[in-house]
Amino acid sequence: MAGASALVLVAALPAMAQTSPAPAVAAANNPLLKEWSGRDGGVPPWDQVKPELFKPAYMAAIDLQRAEIAAIANDPAPPTFANVIEALQRAGRPLQRIDVLFGVMTSNMNAPAYQAVDKEMSPILSAADDEITFNKKLFDRIAAVYAARESSGLSAEQQRLTTRIHDSFVRQGAKLDAGQKAQLSAINQELASAFSDFGQKVLASEDKWTVIANEADLEGLPASLVASYKAAADERGLKGQWAVVNTRSSVDPFLTFADNRALREKVWKAFKDRGDEGGANDTNAIIAKIVKLRADRAKLLGYATHAHWRMDDTMAKDPAKATELMMRVWQPAVARVREEVADMQAVADKEGAKLKIEPWDYLYYAEKVRNAKYALDTNEMKPYFELNNMIAASYYMAEQLYGLTFNEITGSVPTFHPDVRVYEVKDKASGRHVGLFYRDDFARQYKRSGAWAAGYRGQRKFDGPVTAITSNNNNFVKGAPGEPVLISLDDTETLFHEFGHALHGLLNTGTYPGLAGTPRDFVEFPSQVHENWVLTRQVLDRFAKHYKTGEPMPQALVDKVRNASKFNQGYATVEYLASAIVDMKLHTLQDGVVDPDRFERETLVEIGAPAEIAMRHRLPQFNHLFTSDAYSAGYYSYLWSDVMASDAWAAFEDTGNPWDPATAKRFKDIILAQGNVVDRADAYRDFRGRDPDVDALLENRGFPTGK
């Protein structure tokens, strides 16, 4: 998925808490406070990062930024764009660098020592955010520049930056009275602590695995998958056994191929019950607290619900508009699930299985139906999707579409783990350095689940130039020593998706960091488009090569894959949309009073969710919603973005060439390079010549369009 903040503003960054400054000696010697050194404008000092360094570094950086903010707020000169808005764009850079380092470590290497720092610092940093937002002198100067923005000779980009900073301060409570600000700050600090608690409980709940002791229980699993489960067991000291770890990349293949139904159920329940097991790691009470605090905050800020507050700065703007889109897609998706279940039940009945399709049966019997309908066994495909080849394929895509090259430089810069690989990115035509790209592909203890992209540094022309550093993070399961890592088509599309986020960061050409991010329901659009290049002939012919023979994927198999491209779209759509709809309904509760477990069950019944499919992310483990505000009332954004992605992909297809240079250049220049310099709805219309058409999404999924 994308980074946590869609808008880079100083008010959104950790800042000035009311705390004692770190000792001067500690600050002077703390490597986390220093400018990044080394090649290409400096690189993260991963070789010097230690958990005990973060608190003193944070405290010292908070004081540094406090002084910068005070200088801006108390400047006796009349407020101008230069001494207010540009000054804010410079403020807090040491703090930003520390936050990047800490965010990466708590996502990828979140051992107990980091968890302790996170728990202690989260409310302090939340209070620090509020100290900036609630600084009346500062806001008065921002408001003065905002009021004069159209008459002071500012460029369109400068006017937009001024407007967005002003509006962000207002949205965060800058206009509240003193009593309301104190109340809001208390809520924000409580939320920050709850977010930290939620993430740590889910991480602990995920740090488990299902042990398989009998070889007979491996029936149905391909040899490469068995080898990966053995490697996972060996890593955990379970010699002579196999382990299915609690990550999607490990669980879904097991559910697809394992013949042992009882074991499928056990693995499925272990995965879906994360955070909902009772005991120390149960998250339901934290969810109830978060939802209530969010509702109280929204009311204090003058919004009907948390969803209305969160969506005020999105393309959809209003919960009703997002819900309308979700329900338009939901109904045909549910109808398709009924068809899929009927097909699977028929196969099970024919085999004499004497069962009713349950959620842990869905992928298993869907695979049988796929084989029967399309003569496509996904086991046939995995030998062609070797991880390193697919990584190379993603770089080929970037070169062909955008003229970027990726040259591995691992070993020449520090990394936080030996698995991390690093690449220099250049413009092929000119040889110009564009940025650096880090990738961390494998699951490990203390790494959060899923796949995501993170920016280490954004490019900027202002006060620069400075080039970008981006990253991708996955949770693939390592194979046995010397064995290749074979991934599924779904995993490959996820790899391309996250790489799309990285490209978005690398190709940004905006002047100001405050206009680098995009609305939450736009940010997934560029990444989703890039999934489509996986199944192009150029990628398949060059990179989808059998890991043993080296032969490219035969055309007959490519045809099967294409013919089956709309297969099981009911499952994929309902699994996702159930989570998105529950998220939206949860965050449109006006009073925020909720029993999460009951709410989840009753909402699924209310919308007619098929019993054979569980939410992709159940509430007790829904990190998107409850480790920050980032995706709360915003999980719909994947669908909103996919409408644009499907329609934009049609623009490439309409040329007859998915690699069409002219279309790729327009997509790069208008969609990827601008950040949020131009309103994203206007940018899309500029690219496509009209608003996006939802029918393109329905057609891609094989649903009726109503045409």
Q: Which residues are catalytic?
A: 498
CA dihedral 298, 304, 309, 315 (to 10 degrees): 170
Ordered DSSP codes for 145-209: HHHTTTTTT--HHHHHHHHHHHHHHHHTTTTS-HHHHHHHHHHHHHHHHHHHHHHHHHHHHHS-E
Distances (CA, A) of 417 to 46, 54, 99: 9, 18, 18
Q: Please state, as a whole number, how many other Cβ atoms lie within 10 Å of the Cβ of residue 429.
A: 8
Residue 599's Cα: distance from chain center in Å? 25
Strand 452-457 to 421-427 pairing: unpaired
Residue 312: which region, alpha, beta or left (left: phi > 0; alpha: psi -120 to 50)?
Answer: alpha
CA distance 688 to 367: 37
Q: Is residue 438 within a helix (H) or strand (E), and if so which, with residue range?
A: strand 433-442
- Which two three-digit tokens encode residue 131? 């100290």
Q: Is residue 453 within a helix (H) or strand (E), and if so which, with residue range?
A: strand 452-457
Is residue 64 within 8 A of residue 95, CB to CB? The reply is yes
- Closest to 421 in 3D by CA, of 462, 474, 385, 480: 474
CA dihedral 375, 532, 329, 560 (to 10 degrees): -10
Is residue 209 within 8 A of residue 235, CB to CB? The reply is no
- Which two three-digit tokens encode residue 347? 């196969």
